Structure 1
Amino acid sequence: MAPIPTPSAEPSDTPDAYVGLAAGDAERQARERGWSTVRTLPPGAIITMEYLAGRLNFEVTEGRVTRSWKG
């Protein structure tokens, strides 16, 4: 049987630090800080709620991050 993969570690970064940044700058910073997946969403987007370690989500309005959360 194959071993169970170890989930990727999440950076010790605070998602709130991205709120107010331009979306492109926020995504670049997140990747530099070690987030393996960065997802940009419009306000009110319908998404699945499964938690994915290493993913950072941005809600973007008019090119700026208005909300940010892990998973």
Structure 2
Amino acid sequence: MAPIPKPPADPQDNPDAYVGLDADGAERLARERGWSTVRSLPPGAIITMEYRVGRLNFEVKDGQVARAWKG
């Protein structure tokens, strides 16, 4: 019998650590820490709600990360 595949995991990183950083620097740091996808969004953007392993979302206001969350 074939082994059960193990799904990939998110990097062990706290999204709250990005709040207050400039958007470009936060994206570079997130990629260095292992996030495969980093998505920057304006406040109030309409987005899909599917969860994607390895994706970090930033809400960017005036060039700074105002909120960050996984998926």
Same-fold call, TM > 0.5? yes
What SS does the aligned partner of 1:24 have?
Answer: helix
Q: Counterpart in 1 of 2:22? A: 22
Name the CA distance, whole Å, in 2 between partners of 1:5 and 1:43.
Answer: 37
**TM-score, length basis structure 2:** 0.90
- 2:35 matches 1:35: yes
**TM-score, length basis structure 1:** 0.90
Name the CA distance, whole Å, in 1 between partners of 2:5 and 2:59.
Answer: 30
Higher Cα Rg: structure 1 or 2?
A: 2
What SS does the aligned partner of 1:7 have?
Answer: coil
Instruction: Extract unaligned runs of 5+ from structure 1.
Output: none
C-alpha RMSD of matched pairs (Å):
1.4
Name the CA distance, whole Å, in 2 between partners of 1:25 and 1:42.
Answer: 17
Cα offset for 1:7? 3.5
Identity %: 75
Instruction: Extract unaligned runs of 5+ from structure 2.
Output: none
Name the CA distance, whole Å, in 2 between partners of 1:54 and 1:17.
Answer: 16
Structure 1: which 4+ aligned runs deviate by more than 6 Å?
Answer: none
